Chain A
Amino acid sequence: DIQMTQSPSSLSASVGDRVTITCRASQTISTYLNWYQQKPGKAPKLLIYAASSLQSGVPSRFSGSGSGTDFTLTISSLQPEDFATYYCQQSYSTSSFTFGPGTKVDIK
């Protein structure tokens, strides 16, 4: 099975900061990597699919990059509504999926 890791596990940042979260797969997954945002008590929301494609309706301050085993989610200028937990997820195989452990972004 493909394992996913994320770093950091949590971070504190201020409004306006540039934030970068990394995700690593245990084997190459091409660009079959997605990013989700989850707020407390809510369902996850898709932000980025196929490593770098912005989901419709998602602000352009969110961007994704990477391929193979190493991926990055960047928030160019953190907004108050962006404080949440972020998960990466691989979909290299459509018979088994794995999420990363999550990165919690809170207010400094």
Chain B
Amino acid sequence: EVQLVESGGGLVQPGGSLRLTCAASGFTVGSYYMSWVRQAPGKGLEWVSIIHSGGTTYYADSVKGRFIISRDNSKNTLYLQMNSLRTEDTAVYYCARLTFRAFDPWGQGILVTVSS
């Protein structure tokens, strides 16, 4: 079964850092484009970042220079390193696989709260 499970969320102060982890099973992370999408409380979906199978990375303007997407093929895991966090980064973060240029499947989501 293809599955994604996020972890690493929690409460962090503004300016702090956090690393999210997305463990994949049922497929090889390094063979697909993998992405992070977030959803602020009560708001819509916002694409955050993507890493291509070849390793190229892209970011939304709102996180460029602060967030870093990466993967560990040996652990079949995707990461999102979040630095210089702001209150507006508070959201549920989802990892997702890009299949036929659509996001599927999605993880269950992990909450990140940035607050003092």
A and B physically associate: yes
User: Which residue numbers of A lie inside 8 Å of B, CB to CB?
Assistant: 1, 32, 34, 36, 38, 43-46, 49-50, 53, 55, 87, 89, 91, 94-102
Interface residues on B, range: 20 to 34
Question: Does the CB pair A50–B106 fall under 8 Å?
Answer: no
- Do B101 and A34 touch across chains, with their CB atoms under 8 A apart? yes
- Cα A43 to Cα B95 in complex, Å, equals 10
Check if B100 sits within 8 Å of A49, measured CB to CB.
Answer: yes
Which residues of chain B have a CB within 8 Å of any CB of chain A?
33, 35, 37, 44-47, 50, 52, 58, 60-61, 94, 98-109
A-B contacts besides A46-B104, A99-B37, 11 pairs, CB < 8 Å: A36-B45, A43-B107, A44-B45, A46-B103, A46-B105, A55-B102, A87-B44, A89-B103, A91-B98, A91-B101, A97-B47
Is the CB–CB distance between A43 and B109 below 8 Å?
A: yes
A101 to B101, CA, bound (A): 19
Are B58 and A95 in touch, CB under 8 angstroms? yes
**Contact A99-B52, Cβ < 8 Å, known A34-B101, A43-B106, A46-B104:** no
Q: Which residues of A contact B46 (CB under 8 A)?
A: 99
Q: What B residues does A45 contact at CB under 8 A?
A: 106
Inside 8 A of A44's CB, which chain B residues have their CB?
37, 45, 94, 103, 106
Could you say which of A32, A50, A91, A96 contacts B58, with CB atoms under 8 Å apart?
A96
Q: Which residue of B lies closest to A55 (CB)?
A: B104
